[in-house]
Amino acid sequence: MEAIILDDTNGAIMASNIRNAFRDSRFTLNIRYEEKGVRKVKRIIKLTQIRLKESKRYCGSHPYACDIEQGRKSKFLEGADWVEFNDLLNDVFDLHEVSADISSSVCKIRKGRKRRMDYDGHPEWIGNRVFYEWDKDTDDDYYEDWCGKIAPNSTFPEGTPGIYSRTAYERWGDELANRSETIAELMMDGDS
């Protein structure tokens, strides 16, 4: 994953801000800052080896529910874990009001000052089985400028495996693990 800084922000300081923000999170990562070019310097923050600090059951990094049995324990991120990681990363850029393009091999996360607010997917057929892939990019309507403000949580498909702890969301396939209230449940309770 890489963040290309678009404004005049000091890239080394921004890399340090990211390192500090993730220090107490449930994620580990390596951060490297580099500059490319001579006349027009491209400031790039590379984020690699992104993992969970603690192992948990792993099924895959995909949107929507799993249709296969859960696999081994791993420190790899699943779908909802990635959405939370992306939100935390965007929080750092919003807090410091930094314009950057952030992309992973799977999807775009930020366009300038606008963070991605909706993560969705689409089916891919392999033989007679369907697998869900993340949408690489979405319309500009799904990106919003939250610089200098506290952004709401991004949305993603119900049933997506992983943990999104900002809303007490914890799913492995269609089974709600460690039964906790989700934002949707809290909203429904408020209506009754």
Mean pLDDT of the chain: 82
Task: Give every CB contact of residue 37 below 8 A, 6+ residues apart in sequence.
Answer: none
CB contact set of 24 (below 8 Å; sequence gap of 6+): none
Cα separation, 28 vs 24, whole angstroms: 9
Q: Which residue has the tokens 């993603």?
A: 156
Contact in structure between 145 and 114 (CB atoms under 8 Å):
yes
**How many domains does the chain divide into?**
1
Q: Which domain holds residue 53?
A: 2-191
Neighbouring C-beta atoms of residue 50, cutoff 10 Å: 19
pLDDT in tens, 39-92: 888 999 999 999 999 988 777 677 666 666 666 788 988 888 999 999 999 999
Percentage of the chain lying above the pLDDT 90 cut: 51
At 96-136, the pLDDT tens digits run 999 999 999 999 999 999 999 999 988 888 888 878 888 98
